[in-house]
Chains A and B, each alone.
Chain A
Amino acid sequence: GAVVSQHPSWVICKSGTSVKIECRSLDFQATTMFWYRQFPKQSLMLMATSNEGSKATYEQGVEKDKFLINHASLTLSTLTVTSAHPEDSSFYICSARDGGEQFFGPGTRLTVL
């Protein structure tokens, strides 16, 4: 199946700093990528849908100025957590759609101190 990578796989940062997470589709082009957030022992919650060349569509309750999404090419979407705080600590997972199926990245563990 298609492969989606994320970088970094884990990151620790200080409160108030910004962190960028990359999501790449390695062997296919993805016009749509999705960003999810998963708290410990909880389900995945969709944060936003990222469409190549246009603005992301955010789910209700997700601050678009805090979670900046850029989908500049058909193989790369980035999520930047701005002015991160401890409550932003979570597991962030992206997915990319290849036709009808979504392929998920391995996730990025963010810890904000």
Chain B
Amino acid sequence: GEDVEQSLFLSVREGDSSVINCTYTDSSSTYLYWYKQEPGAGLQLLTYIFSNMDMKQDQRLTVLLNKKDKHLSLRIADTQTGDSAIYFCAESRKGGYQKVTFGTGTKLQVIP
């Protein structure tokens, strides 16, 4: 079955860049997502990338995909204290069902 893994914790200083990594096992993954969850809240979709892309940039966010190694990363430039949250990567296949499988989540702590 599908398996998505992330490191549990990352601590960075305000203003530095953060890089959150994710690995997945399903070679049929078509969509790869990054979600942000603040304490006690639901999930907010930050960005997503199609499996036929290598990179996607959206303001401070850069997503890199290495499909050969099934490795996905999220880089946050100029990290702010408001970026402190849990970040989940997720994957799904193309198709009507589109079950989304979430990673274990990485807690990002931004130190002022």
Contact = CB atoms under 8 A, between A and B. Distances in A.
Interface of A: 1, 4, 6, 32, 34, 41-46, 49, 93, 95, 97, 100-107, 109
Contacts of A4: 42
The interface size bin for chain B is: 10 to 19
Contacts, number: 48
A31 B112 CA distance: 44
Interface of B: 31, 35, 40-45, 48, 88, 97-105
A102 to B, nearest CB: 6
B42 A93 contact: yes
Contacts of A109: 40
A104 B57 CA distance: 23
B40 A44 contact: no
Given A93-B42, A104-B44, A106-B42, A46 B97 contact: no
